[in-house]
A and B are shown apart, each in its own frame.
Chain A
Amino acid sequence: MLEVQNLSMRFGGLLAVDQVSLDVQEHEIVAIIGPNGAGKTTVFNCMSGFYKPTGGKILFEGKEIQGKPDYKISRLGLVRTFQHVRLFSRMTVVENLLVAQHRHLNTNLLSGILKTPNYREKEQKSLDRAAYWLDRVGLMDMANRDAGNLAYGQQRRLEIARCMVTEPKLLMLDEPAAGLNPAETKDLNQLIISLKEDYNVSVVLIEHDMSLVMDISDRINVINQGRPLASGTPDEIRRNDDVIKAYLGEA
């Protein structure tokens, strides 16, 4: 459903991403790994529309999306999280989830001001969806806390829930396990698998935690210094000499 072809991104004299290609099929978890500074997040930023790639194509469900504005890409069903969690910290947890559902809600100002039955019904639906996901990630009791006051692991989960209420087709997770303890990582592991199995969402993730990557990924792409190094199933990657030399070897 997603196809990245020969993606390049140049910042002035620096070629941060050079001819990277990868693809994601429906019902699949694909990981992007590589040493720090390899250009993984830059690939993400191009895919989610924060950067306009200087070369290559990105196809989502057959349509070219490279260079499209970020909010439009997100509306297509391609939603991401951030390496450093980005929540609306002075809004409550449940408000964070309601913001994300703005598209499911009637945007007509008057119907909202006058609280028409139609508006109420839609509002209730999005509340229910928010409640469902809060329950799913174990934050029900925190619903009315300020998002900024949550513990780090909870903030990570909230960010994923916030993506999920938009009902995405493809979820992009940027180092979801960063800063989590082993128990939390294990929960995350299960959550990501369940997103794929139960909600039929494909996942692309950038991750440094090798056990997580090897456990849950269907396929792995390795990037080194902006260039693609290898791709394949976890087993293939584990045995790949180049990868061992460039990445696993030094880790």
Chain B
Amino acid sequence: MQDLLYFIQQLINGLTIGSTYALIAIGYTMVYGIIGMINFAHGEIYMIGAYTALIAITGLAALGIAWLPLVLIVALICAMIVSSSMGWAVERVAYRPVRGKHRLIPLISAIGMSIFLQNYVHLAQGSRNIGFPALIEGGFRFGAEDSFQTSITYMQITIFATTLVCMTILSLFISRSRIGRACRAVSQDLGMANLLGIDTNRIISATFVIGAALAAVAGLLLGMYYGSIDPLFGFIAGLKAFTAAVLGGIGSIPGAMLGGLILGVAESMTSGYLSGEYKDVVSFGLLILILLFKPTGLLGKPEVEKI
């Protein structure tokens, strides 16, 4: 019984983290699906979202506003606006001019952008980690009083619920809206979409904006969940989310969700049963194994090499 409860606890923790990975992974997968590049700076966009949210929360507190729903919504909106603008600007400045050049060039540009953004926040906000207030406290507990208790916190429930809402909105947006349809067209064949009169530049910008907005949501959620942030925390999270995207099949949105959840659970099981230090080794190891044995991921479509 105890073992089972412990296992369920790891599962819950894993799914919590995993669903935020999924939110970040959407950004990687959409960008890759459309222009075939790894947006290396995406983790930093997420980190900036977390910082903006914290600034908004602290600012509201200083103004004496403490009504939780309002604080959360204002923080969320601020984070989404700043991150989306950043996503848009990054694409305009660093990716659009090098689009269509040799594969390595956009990738190096993205790495440069990632380093720049890390240090931009580092310079503005210092390198130390800063406490992020846990606005949502408490939770449910299961199990006998005197032994191991499985708990599911309100924070974790919030993370699940928010992720679910975001994913639903995104799916509807992609399948129903005009921009969403254009997005799908562009990811099928960019040149052809262009010929058909779709403003591909706009669609690509939209992809970056949507991905960044979702990353900002993840930034707020994970900031609260972990309780502290620093300028480097986007880097590892970004890599994890990228792993999730590859795991699920890069370019596939349901794949990103699935990949995020699997990766989150794998990590929390490693922490729970082996050692927390090795959870990064497990996720990178997983990434390497997937790329070696099933580079198209779980739900991805195979790419045919043209001669």
A and B touching (Cβ–Cβ under 8 A): yes
Interface, chain A (partner B; CB < 8 A): 11, 41, 45, 50, 82-83
Interface, chain B (partner A; CB < 8 A): 304, 307
How long is the Cα–Cα vector from A11 to B304 in the complex, in angstroms?
Answer: 10
Say yes or no: A50 contacts B304, CB within 8 Å.
Answer: no
Chain A residues closer than 8 Å to B307, beta-carbon distance: 41, 45, 50, 82-83
With both beta carbons as reference points, the residue of chain B lying nearest to A42 in the complex is identified as B307
With both beta carbons as reference points, the residue of chain B lying nearest to A48 in the complex is identified as B307
Closest-CB distance, B282 to chain A (whole angstroms): 33
List, sorted by A's number, 6 A–B pairs whose CB atoms are closer than 8 Å: A11-B304, A41-B307, A45-B307, A50-B307, A82-B307, A83-B307
How long is the Cα–Cα vector from A240 to B304 in the complex, in angstroms?
Answer: 36
Dominant secondary structure at the B interface: loop
With both beta carbons as reference points, the residue of chain B lying nearest to A90 in the complex is identified as B102
How long is the Cα–Cα vector from A83 to B307 in the complex, in angstroms?
Answer: 8
How long is the Cα–Cα vector from A41 to B307 in the complex, in angstroms?
Answer: 9
Which 4 residue pairs spanning A and B have beta carbons closest together?
A: A50-B307, A45-B307, A82-B307, A41-B307
Closest-CB distance, B288 to chain A (whole angstroms): 23
How long is the Cα–Cα vector from A45 to B306 in the complex, in angstroms?
Answer: 10
How long is the Cα–Cα vector from A45 to B304 in the complex, in angstroms?
Answer: 13
Chain A residues closer than 8 Å to B304, beta-carbon distance: 11
Closest-CB distance, B300 to chain A (whole angstroms): 15
Closest-CB distance, A17 to chain B (whole angstroms): 14
With both beta carbons as reference points, the residue of chain A lying nearest to B304 in the complex is identified as A11
How long is the Cα–Cα vector from A219 to B304 in the complex, in angstroms?
Answer: 33
How long is the Cα–Cα vector from A83 to B306 in the complex, in angstroms?
Answer: 11
Chain B residues closer than 8 Å to A11, beta-carbon distance: 304
How long is the Cα–Cα vector from A183 to B84 in the complex, in angstroms?
Answer: 58
How long is the Cα–Cα vector from A83 to B304 in the complex, in angstroms?
Answer: 17
How long is the Cα–Cα vector from A85 to B195 in the complex, in angstroms?
Answer: 26
With both beta carbons as reference points, the residue of chain B lying nearest to A82 in the complex is identified as B307
How long is the Cα–Cα vector from A50 to B306 in the complex, in angstroms?
Answer: 10
Chain B residues closer than 8 Å to A45, beta-carbon distance: 307
Closest-CB distance, B284 to chain A (whole angstroms): 30
Closest-CB distance, A90 to chain B (whole angstroms): 10
How long is the Cα–Cα vector from A41 to B306 in the complex, in angstroms?
Answer: 11
Chain B residues closer than 8 Å to A50, beta-carbon distance: 307
Closest-CB distance, B304 to chain A (whole angstroms): 7
With both beta carbons as reference points, the residue of chain A lying nearest to B302 in the complex is identified as A12
Chain B residues closer than 8 Å to A82, beta-carbon distance: 307
How long is the Cα–Cα vector from A224 to B307 in the complex, in angstroms?
Answer: 21
With both beta carbons as reference points, the residue of chain A lying nearest to B102 in the complex is identified as A90
Closest-CB distance, A171 to chain B (whole angstroms): 17
Closest-CB distance, B296 to chain A (whole angstroms): 14
Closest-CB distance, A173 to chain B (whole angstroms): 14
Closest-CB distance, B307 to chain A (whole angstroms): 6
Closest-CB distance, A9 to chain B (whole angstroms): 13
Chain B residues closer than 8 Å to A83, beta-carbon distance: 307
With both beta carbons as reference points, the residue of chain B lying nearest to A84 in the complex is identified as B307
Chain B residues closer than 8 Å to A41, beta-carbon distance: 307
Closest-CB distance, A30 to chain B (whole angstroms): 21
How long is the Cα–Cα vector from A41 to B304 in the complex, in angstroms?
Answer: 15
Closest-CB distance, A140 to chain B (whole angstroms): 30
